Structures are given as C-alpha cells and as structure tokens.
Amino acid sequence: MVWFFGFLKANPYVLLFFTVGLSVWLGRVTIKGYGLGMVAGAVIVGAVLSIWASTYGIKLQLDNFVRLLFYYLFMYGVGLRVGPSFINSLGRDSLRFTFLAVLAPVLGLALVVIGTRLADLPVGAAGGILAGSQTMSAAIGSAEQAVLDGVVALPPGMTPEAATGMIALSYGITYIWGTVGIILIVKYLPRWWGLDAKAAARQYEEAYGVNNVDAAGLSGYRAGGLRAYQLENPDTAGKTIAQFRHDHPEYRVINVRRGNESLGAEPDTVLRLGDVVALGGRLEMLTAKMGLLGPEVADPKALNVPLDQAEILVTSNDVVGKPLKSFRDSDIAGQVQLTKIERSGVPMPIGLETTLKKRDVLFITGLKPAVTRAGEIFGIIARPSTATDLLTLAAGMILGFLIGKIDFPAFGSRVGLGNAGGLLVSGIVVASISSRLRFFGSTPNAARNILEDLGLVVFVAIVGLNAGATLLEQLTGAIALKIFLVGFVACTIPPFIVWAIGHHLFKTNPAVLMGVTAGARSHSGPCREAAKEIDSSVPWIGFPVAYAVSGVLLTIFGYFAMMLAH
C-alpha cells in the first residue's frame, strides 16, 4: 500500500475527491433505515486514510486555504437557504415557535459546556460534541474558527491541528446518537406523554382542511377541471357570460365556440342555443348541475385554450394572513389550481384554513390569463432560472467577509462573528432581499445545494485527513466514553423540555408540536418520521420557522461552545 498512499500524497486533487467519493458512498449505507450520512462519513474516511497512511510513514495533508474556501461557500449557502424563513420568524404569529427554537439550542449549548467542564475533556471536544449531538455539521467550522481566532487558550504542547482533530473526533463519536436519538424522541414523545398525536392530527386536518402532502404521489384526481357543453337549455340561452357567472359563481366560462369561430369569454358575450361552452370549476360542481347548459361534448376547438404554470412569490400585503378559502369567490377561482405551497423551501400542507405568509411560493397551474391575474393578486410571478447570478454571489461573499471583520471586546478578548458568521449573515441578507425582488440574486436550488453539500463534505473531509494522524495520540477509551455521554445528555434532554413547554404552557397541538420539536433541532429527519408515524402532514406546519432559527443559532454556537468550555 506504500505506492498507493504515495500516489495520493503526490496527487492532492485525486486524494481530495477520492476521500469525498468514499464519504458519499459510506454515507449512503444504511442499517434498518439509519446511516452515517456523508458528513460523518467524511470525518471517518478522512481520518482512517490519514491514520492508515501514517503507519507507512506517509503524512496525508491538504491545503488549509482549500478547506476554508469550501467551508465559507457552505456557510454562505446556509444563509441563502434559511434567509427568508428566518426573517419570517420575527413576525408576531411565529413568536411561540421561535421561542422554542431558541430554547433548544441554548439548552444544548449549556449542557455541552457544563458536561465538558465536569468531565475535564480536552480542548476541541466541546465544539465537536455540540455539532454531533445537535446534528449541526456547520458548527464544526465555527468551533474551529474559535481556535483560529485565538479565543481558546491551548494547553502546552497542543497544536491548533490537534484541537481541530479533537473537534472532528468528538463530532464523529456523538453524531450517531444525535441523529438516531432525536428521531426516536420526536417520534414517540406524544406516546410517552399519553397523547394520541394521530387523533390530534385528524382534528387539525378537519379544522383547517389540511391535505397530506406526503401521500400525494401520482393521482388521477384533479380538484378542478375544464369541460365542454353544448348549450340546449333555453333558460340559460340569452344570458351574457357576466349574468351567467352572477347566477352561478361556482363556474367560469373559459371559451365559447359558435360555428367555426372561438369567441373567447368576454363578460358581455351573449350565450346562444347551439353554442359550445368550455366551462371550468371544481370537479364536484362540474358534475352537480348536468342539465344547466346541455350535454357534454368532446370539442377540441372549444377546449383549445392556452394553459400556463408559474411559481408566484407572495408579496402583496392584501393577501398575507388570509386563509385560502377567502379566495374561492375571486375572479380566478375555477381557472387555476394551486398544486403546492412552499415556505422556506419546505412543502406546506394545503387546506382551506391555510394562511399565506410573505415570501411563500405558490405553484399555480391553469388558464394563462388567470395565472397572470393570480400573479397580480398575490405578488410576483417568478419564472425559475437555471442561471446563477455570480455577480451577487461575489458581492455577497465580500459583504460576509467585511461583516466578519467586526469585533468587540468580551471575555478578556475581542470577539466577532468571524468570516463564517459574517457569511451566514450575508447569505441571510441577500436571500431576504432576493426573495422580495425575486429577479435579484438568482441562486437556483441546485446551485445552492452544491454550495452546501460539496462545501461541507470537502471541508470535513480535509479536517479528517489533516487531523487523522494526531487522533490516535489523543484518543483513549475513557475520553471516548465521556464524549459520548456528554453528547447523549445534550441530545436527549432539550427535546423533552421543549415538548413540555410547548404542550403545557403554549397548548400547541401535539401533531404540530412534533414538527416544532424537530425544527428546533434543525433536522428534517425527525419531522419526516413523525409525519409517517401519524400518517399526516400536520407536523410540517410547525417545522419551517423553528428549523430556520435553530439552524442559525446552532451554527454559531460551535464558536461559543469552544469559548465557554475552557
């Protein structure tokens, strides 16, 4: 194997992507649905390769500039992802969820700091335990930033590389229970409390008309429809389209064919016997009054009306806070279909009582004029772009680095957000602005995912490679056990406290509270499992706000864990 590790040492680019590839492969391996994930896999693969090479006298190491560059791209990507929903969380309606989302990370940080001090763990352990027990990989970087900034005093003989290695090691030890534990806790908390979350979800669905987005799949059912009828009813003939709509507001006349001519659907058009009328509306309405016009006919020309689909960003103050049922009598009802709502990138259940919030994204399909009109009513029609605005990306990164330069005196030193924290704030600012303007700073989801996924896995892989050779010198069985126990406590206790306050003090619906508890740990896995457990999408109602707030806090808490634990 000497030649192999010698080849990797001589070809750092091959070494980097070989490590990344193995990490992704290892991350996909699951046992009964649970696996490491590629980030924890990167720590293990990088450390194992480095330790293995060191047994042949070969030191595998990659450039720190590359490591930090990819981490900074990741942090900016995180800011872009949580930006709009983080701003939404500051709204009055979300304060309870926001409080719980702040409480969980603060409790986790406190338990990590206290546990690290009581167990007398080495420098670096606190940052890694926080990242692993709270399943917030980004905290690895902020913990390392604390080492680089010099706010953590290293004991004699310990190098910054050794402290970084302990961060990675502690993360790897605590990540497994951090992932599996929170899933099991969220899934079974209602049962342990003696509550029937499934019944609570049904009550919520009945009260708010919520559909189960997880069970959608492919279906032949369509809530709305477009059909053609030949006008034979003399009671309807002679009316204008406007009069017909006044008498029957549940329908929309989309087109009228008279002979070989398509007349469209102008309000003053008079309906005549023999006309073929293209009628739109909800499915149950189209089958409720079969004789209103006449027999249904297969008329391609009457039904040949232009359709459109669009994503509409909600920006209008006139619709914010209103339930969807309030738009049933609008002039687009029956002409468009709302297929999906996304809030901060998370699909939201659609129900009659679902209220709209600013920067929600509505996925609309329907008649082209009606889709255009929907854009005027709700906000801005966004045509998804596959191009990334690199100028905004560059400006946002520069802004982040400048924010990171700001510091202030504290704890006998000077403390600031640093480059990583600055980029997180910058990403939030850019995402919030672009979500309002929509055509500014385009960063498609695929591009943002590259920033996050590749940025983080490359960063962690290099941390593992560079620290691997020193891990054997630091690790003993006693230290590993102490690290695991501190992580176990920090993972397990906060969700119970969040649940108790949410249930007993805030009286939150148990099904919704399952989503809030998952979001407060910034982890979508528990929410997904909770939704499957109770066969309902209601947990996703409480997830987005808590997810955004806790994600920001846990990311920067890696820095504070290092600073407060020693």
DSSP secondary structure string for all residues of 153-215: PPPTT--HHHHHHHHHHHHHHHHHHHHHHHHHHHHHHHHHTT--HHHHHHHHHHHHT---GGG
In what helix (H) or strand (E) does residue 340 lie, and over which residues does it extend? strand 336-343
- Which long-range CB contacts under 8 A does 470-477 form with residues at least 24 apart? 470/159, 470/161, 470/162, 470/165, 471/47, 471/51, 471/165, 471/168, 471/169, 472/51, 473/162, 474/122, 474/162, 474/165, 474/166, 474/169, 475/169
* Residues of the chain below pLDDT 50: 92-93, 213-218
pLDDT at 216: 44
- pLDDT tens for 83-124 read 665 555 555 446 888 899 999 999 999 999 999 999 999 898
Which residues lie closer than 8 Å to 345 by C-beta, 6 or more apart? Answer: 81, 85, 445
In what helix (H) or strand (E) does residue 407 lie, and over which residues does it extend? strand 407-410
- pLDDT tens for 181-197 read 888 899 889 999 999 99
pLDDT at 212: 52
* Cβ neighbour number for residue 469 with a 10 Å cutoff: 21
Give Rg (Cα) of the chain: 28
pLDDT at 410: 56
Q: Do residues 152 and 506 make contact, with C-beta atoms less than 8 angstroms apart? A: no
Retrieve residue 49's tokens. 């390769």
Considering the entire predicted model, what is its pTM? 0.65
pLDDT at 217: 47
Among 483, 383, 468, 369, smallest CA distance to 122 is for 483
Helices (H), 312-417: 368-378, 390-404
Among 240, 308, 231, smallest CA distance to 269 is for 240
Which residues lie closer than 8 Å to 154 by C-beta, 6 or more apart? Answer: 123, 147, 160, 163
pLDDT at 249: 78
